[in-house]
Structure 1
Amino acid sequence: MLRFLATLSSLNLWVIFLAENLLVTALALLFGLLILKLNGKPIKPASRTEILICLLTNIINTAITYTGFWLFKQRYLQLTYEINWAILFDFILLFLLMDLAMFVFHYLIHHSAVYKVVHKFHHHYADPIPIDLFVLHPLETISFGSLWLIMLLAYNFNFYAVIAYLTANVFFGVTGHLGIEPIPVHVRKMFPFKYLGTPSFHHRHHVDIEHNFGFYTNLWDKLFKTYKP
């Protein structure tokens, strides 16, 4: 697949990557709306601003995808393709490293002037809906995308682990912006859920911006004393 993409023109790549990002967004939103419907929560329609920013985020993510593929094509970014235990190891490594990197980035934004200029835009939505995963200030979208590319440049991750991580990233992003907690309390106390960033964990951050800066886990918040149940 990657070899085939390498034969295409830049225009064709832009079209394919844009279609890919839009498809992922559509599937993510459908998944989120399905969970809300199954839990009987009224579905709040997205505003015109949310829809437009979501589309802008997709365009920026397309540029990031194109940049990543260009780096891969120039051999600055390399992947492995073996189907073995390295997939699980690389997934866990990528999952935890990105969680730590985004925790630090997120914490620093909240404790600097950048918050008022950039990140406060996302926190305008204290009671988020699934589309708000994609409602970010353009500078923040570029920053997170750059962080992702730096991580891939730093280590030769397994291709299938990268795909698994990207899937998990969308899953956690959507569930964190449901505005409800579909996981029962007794389940959240069990392993591994008691260490993960459940929907209520991230929702708490939207209503209390001084706590719960993690994305996929609550490990770093517990370690650095910013965790709030």
Structure 2
Amino acid sequence: MLRFLSAQSSFNLWVIFAAENLLVTLLALLFGWAILKLTHKPIQQASRQEVFVCLVTNIINTMITYAGFWLWKHGYIVLGYELSWRIIIDFFMLFMLMDLAMFIFHYFIHHSAIYKAIHRFHHHYTDPTPIDLFVLHPFETVGFGSLWLLIITLISFNIYAVFIYLAVNIFFGIMGHLGVEPIPSGIRKLIPFKYLGTSSFHHRHHLDISYNYGFYTNIWDKLFKTYKEG
């Protein structure tokens, strides 16, 4: 796939990456709405503002994708391609590193003037819906994207671990913005669910911005005393 992309013109790359990001967004929203349908929660119609910001987020994500490809093509990002046990190790390391990095970034935003200027936009609704995953201030989208590029530039990962991580990232993002908990409370008390950032975990953050800054896990919130039961 990377060989195919390397042979494309800049214009074709922009078109491919834009189509990829729009497709991912569409599939993520369909997945989220399907879960809401199964849980019998009414699906709120997205406002024009939400749709517009979602499209802006896709444009920025396309730019980040292009930047990542440019960094790889020029040797700044180094990826492994072997099918081996390293896929599992690299995925777990990338999962935990990004979880910690985003926790720190998220905590910093909430405890600075940046929250009022930027991040409060994402907290417009205390009862999130799937599209709110993509309703972010442009500066915040750039911030998260830059964090992602920095980590995969500093550390070499297996490409298949990267793909798995990206899919898991979208899954957790949609689950966190359902506004409903599809996982029964009994299961959430079991390992590994008791350490993961479930829908109710992130929903609690939207209800009370002083708690639950993590994304994929609640580990860092428990360590730094910012955890609150969902």
The TM-score, its normalising length taken from structure 1, stands at 1.00
2-structure distance, mates of 1:40, 1:17: 34
SS in 2 for 1:216: coil
Q: Show the counterpart of 1:104.
A: 104
Pair 1:127 & 2:140 matched: no
2-structure distance, mates of 1:159, 1:145: 18
The TM-score, its normalising length taken from structure 2, stands at 0.99
Pair 1:67 & 2:85 matched: no
2-structure distance, mates of 1:76, 1:106: 26
1-structure distance, mates of 2:178, 2:170: 13
1:54-109, Cα deviation, whole Å (9 max, x unpaired)? 00000000000000000000011110011111000000000000000000000000
C-alpha displacement at 1:202, in angstroms? 0.2
SS in 2 for 1:124: coil
Pair 1:195 & 2:195 matched: yes
* Equivalent residues in 2 for 1:32-43, closer than 5 Å: 32-43=32-43
Structure 2, gaps ≥5 residues long = none
Pair 1:6 & 2:10 matched: no
Alignment RMSD, CA only? 0.4
SS in 2 for 1:168: helix
C-alpha displacement at 1:191, in angstroms? 0.6
* Equivalent residues in 2 for 1:1-229, closer than 5 Å: 1-229=1-229
C-alpha displacement at 1:165, in angstroms? 0.3
Deviant stretches of 4+, over 2 Å: none
2-structure distance, mates of 1:171, 1:110: 24
Structure 1, gaps ≥5 residues long = none
**2:228 partner amino acid:** K
1-structure distance, mates of 2:169, 2:86: 19
1-structure distance, mates of 2:134, 2:14: 19
1:137-162, Cα deviation, whole Å (9 max, x unpaired)? 00000000000000000111000000
2-structure distance, mates of 1:65, 1:78: 15
**1:69 partner amino acid:** F
**1:228 partner amino acid:** K
SS in 1 for 2:50: helix
SS in 1 for 2:59: helix
2-structure distance, mates of 1:156, 1:113: 34
Say how many residue pairs are matched: 229
1-structure distance, mates of 2:21, 2:209: 29
C-alpha displacement at 1:125, in angstroms? 1.5
2-structure distance, mates of 1:85, 1:195: 24
2-structure distance, mates of 1:21, 1:76: 23
